[in-house]
Amino acid sequence: MRRLFAVALSVLIAACSSAPPTLKPLPTLDSVPTVSPTTVAAPATATPLPTVAPLPTATPSPDSVLCPLSGLPVSKSVLATRRPLMVQIGNSGPERPQFGLAQADLIFETLSEGGITRFSAMYLCQDAQDIADVRSARLINLQLIPIFDAILAHVGASAAVLDLIERDIRIRDSRLDYFRNNPGFTLQPERRRPPFDVFTNTQALWDAARSRNVPMPGNPVPEIKTSSNVPLNGINVRAVTIHHHSSYWVRWKWDDEASVWTRHISSDVNAAGDVPHLDAATTRVLTAKNAIIIRAQHKQTDIIEDTLGSRSQNVEITGASGDAIFLRDGQMFKGKWKRDKLNEWFTFTLADGKPYELRPGNTYVHFYDLESLFSPIDVVAR
């Protein structure tokens, strides 16, 4: 093991800082003590949490099957006409709040460059009327697309990444690129200022793919194992904070009444701020049934991604393994991840070696740098 997976105990807001902290030996997950809820002070700058709307209940139909990405019921006849979509969505300040994240079955969040992250949002079993802001492809797409045989929707990419895409016929022949005048996209400058004004929706992308004779469906989609049964030996937690960068973090807070994780992020103005991450269409806070934190090696490449000279990150998640943290049902679980081949989904196991199964519903997957210089994951126990 390259290094023990460190988990630090932190008061919910005071733990966040805009400057990289001095690294100290961190306790293991097994040694995380319980913090009394009364000791957690509410931040002075906290924004009142928007109401969490009840999630719609999926009603099985006569031809109902379970969605391979979420474990929720979906029509078999609908799946027979679709292929997974992977849409690149930006996550800089001007791009928030985004459209369409609430309808994604599965979302990957990856450190991009310049201290920001980018979403690779997967759509298959839900429809999204608006998806924005659609942005450029990154190296992570080359590792994720083959798992699902997905259609990649994006707005260009750096020359080096485009060259790699062109070499991979699985991606090249089924991608939709706004910069190549592919159908399925619209410019909406009245809603977002350029270059954040590229919109799409799931139906437009599936129709555009058919117009380009992309086979529907594609190869079988791997089934992500789900179960309503909660695993044993979890730690009850109120919040878990993931420090992707010194100036950007994500905090998942457990909402016991709604039985979901609510998503919060650092403020663009004050990195210590606690801001609910909203959905642009509904102005409601984004939620998840599951969050997975994959600790993986990130290596800086020679690929230049912007005019500031920022370099692309390559996340080593193929032919690799490592530590993981799983969040579901208000609990945190220590475990492992492994992925041997490019077209395989991850294998997740708990600390005792038993397979880990997600709760049915949507999932966020965070790729967290194994060699991060910034404060690692913070936990507030219940």
Residue 244: closest CA among 116, 365, 144, 335: 116
Joined tokens for residue 262: 């609510």
DSSP strand pairing (298-304 vs 311-315) = antiparallel
DSSP for 149-176 reads TPEEEES---HHHHHHHHH-HHHHTT-E
In degrees and rounded to multiples of 5, residue 298 shows phi and psi of: -110, 130
Joined tokens for residue 107: 């979302």
Q: What's the rounded Cα separation, in Å, for the pair 275 and 331?
A: 22
Q: Is the pTM of this model over 0.85?
A: no
Residue 176: closest CA among 229, 101, 123: 123
Q: Are the C-beta atoms of 175 and 105 separated by less than 8 Å?
A: no
Higher pLDDT, 370 or 121: 121
Predicted confidence (pLDDT) per residue in 44-86, tens digit: 333 344 555 444 455 556 789 999 999 999 999 999 999 999 9
pLDDT the model gives residue 342: 95
Joined tokens for residue 210: 């058919």
Q: What's the rounded Cα separation, in Å, for the pair 146 and 122?
A: 13
Q: What's the rounded Cα separation, in Å, for the pair 39 and 160?
A: 50
What one-letter code names the amino acid at 119? F
pLDDT the model gives residue 364: 98
What one-letter code names the amino acid at 16? C
pLDDT band at residue 242 under the 50/70/90 scheme: very high
pLDDT band at residue 253 under the 50/70/90 scheme: very high
Q: What's the rounded Cα separation, in Å, for the pair 218 and 152?
A: 13
What one-letter code names the amino acid at 349? T
Residue 346: closest CA among 375, 315, 372, 371: 315
**Whole-Å CA distances, 348 to 30, 224, 323, 345, 358:** 19, 10, 10, 9, 10
Domains of the chain: 1-33+62-382 (3.50.90.10)
Q: Where would I find the H helices in the chain?
A: 76-79, 139-148, 159-167, 169-172, 202-211
| CB burial of residue 261 (10 Å; 0-12, 13-18, 19+) | buried
pLDDT the model gives residue 35: 33
Is the pLDDT confidence value at 259 over 50? yes
pLDDT the model gives residue 28: 37
Is the pLDDT confidence value at 207 over 50? yes
Q: Which residue has 């009603």 as its token pair?
A: 59
pLDDT band at residue 301 under the 50/70/90 scheme: confident
pLDDT the model gives residue 115: 79
pLDDT the model gives residue 382: 73
Q: What's the rounded Cα separation, in Å, for the pair 312 and 295?
A: 18
Predicted confidence (pLDDT) per residue in 137-152, tens digit: 999 999 999 999 999 9
Least confident of 77-86, 267-276, 342-351: 267-276
Is the pLDDT confidence value at 109 over 80? yes
**Whole-Å CA distances, 359 to 8, 228, 271:** 25, 6, 31
Sort residue 197 into left (φ over 0), alpha (ψ -120 to 50) or beta.
alpha
